[in-house]
Amino acid sequence: MTPFEQISRRIDSYRNDMINMQVALCALPAVAPSSGGEGEARKAEYLLEFLRNNRFQDVSLIQAPDLEAPAGYRPNILAYVKGQDSSRTVWVMTHTDVVPPGEQAQWKGNPYKAWVEQGRIYGRGTEDNQQDLVASLFAAKAFLDEGVAPAFDIGLAIVADEETGSDKGIHHVIQNSNPFRKKDIIIVPDAGSEDGRLIEVAEKSILWLKFTTLGRQAHASTPEKGLNSFKAASFLVAALDKLHGLFPEEDPLFDPPRSTFEPTKKEPNVPNINTIPGEDVFYMDSRILPSYAVEAVEKAIAKIIKTIEQKFGVKVEVEVRQKALAAPPTSSKAEVVGLLKKGVNAVYGVRGKAKGIGGGTVAAFFRRAGFQAACWSKIDDTAHMPNEYCVIDNMLGDAKVFAHVFLRE
């Protein structure tokens, strides 16, 4: 029996333990304070106990101060398994925070009380990001339980705040502790595909904007006495769709291959039907190909706003909620990409392909800091949806892919 077969057999034996950990983690909601939650402290306490009880080494907690969180901080965890050669570390970075469940009526059950059905674990966070958090933990645990030393040290970075910007998460870790070395191998299972082929190496720029349309409130029966902010904002939403035509370039490295400009969140205005609102607020999520300057998009938006202001007599204020320029891509020939391709082929029998994606991942923080990080996981892409689920076989399979990389077979 080869070391990989030995480790894979051990991972298979963990199946029920991995399911039980998913259920336990799901019952510890880790929603960011800015999204109405308490943060990740309780979840981190559970994970720290697991790590210490299972002989992981150099377990540490890095606290990012956050006065909005009841604990006063956001927790980031580092843990290691020593390898044959400690000059390098193979990292898997996952995150503990989850997004709010959304409308309860769209869930088949309690989103924070995970349930198993037809080979899947349902619940908020089960796929994003607990599938690979659990997979990485048990992949590393298999080496400890089997007494097999990985080629290099295994490093697990389990961080906070991924869903709301990462200032209290991996960005804080890199800026304040930075255990990462340029020759380390860094895997971020924060993107993937259903067949496991996608190895994400590039991302688009991100621009999140808040639009506040200011008009004049009036009785709905006398609209001429007011300036309907909601009506003006609705025309603005439609006008912003012109951005797709203004920035039409396509790049086949990315999926989708073009820039996207989507209105998303809408805040309530007046509480009653018979009042014209004097203020209206909505948000837009833009993902922009690296070939376009974000400033060029902002200038185009400013021109569109000006036409709406002139037409309706309103004032539109724009607030940047997130602006992240596309990070330098990871080379498709980087060592981490090659190792993932071998692991994906060994476990899932498919050929991995390096691609760019429309969404942003925390791998961008590594890339901006000069690290060759790659994103990979085998997922059904149910993140942020009602009835989010994790395919149990994907969770075990991903653990085996990580183990294959740890062994460098």
- Distance CA(344)–CA(22), nearest Å, equals 23
Per the residue annotation, which of 66, 128, 153, 162 is the catalytic one? Answer: 162
Q: Which of 89, 327, 90, 94 is nearest to 188 (CA)?
A: 94
Assess whether 97 carries a catalytic annotation: yes
Catalytic residue among 66, 97, 184, 280: 97
Q: How far is the C-alpha of 224 from the C-alpha of 227, rounded, in Å?
A: 7
Give the separation between CA 161 and CA 156, rounded to whole angstroms: 16
Burial (0-12, 13-18, 19+ Cβ within 10 Å), 213: buried
Longest dimension (CA), the chain: 82
Distance between CA atoms of 324 and 365, rounded to whole angstroms?
A: 10
Asked if 162 is an active-site residue, the reply is yes
Report the catalytic residues. 97, 162
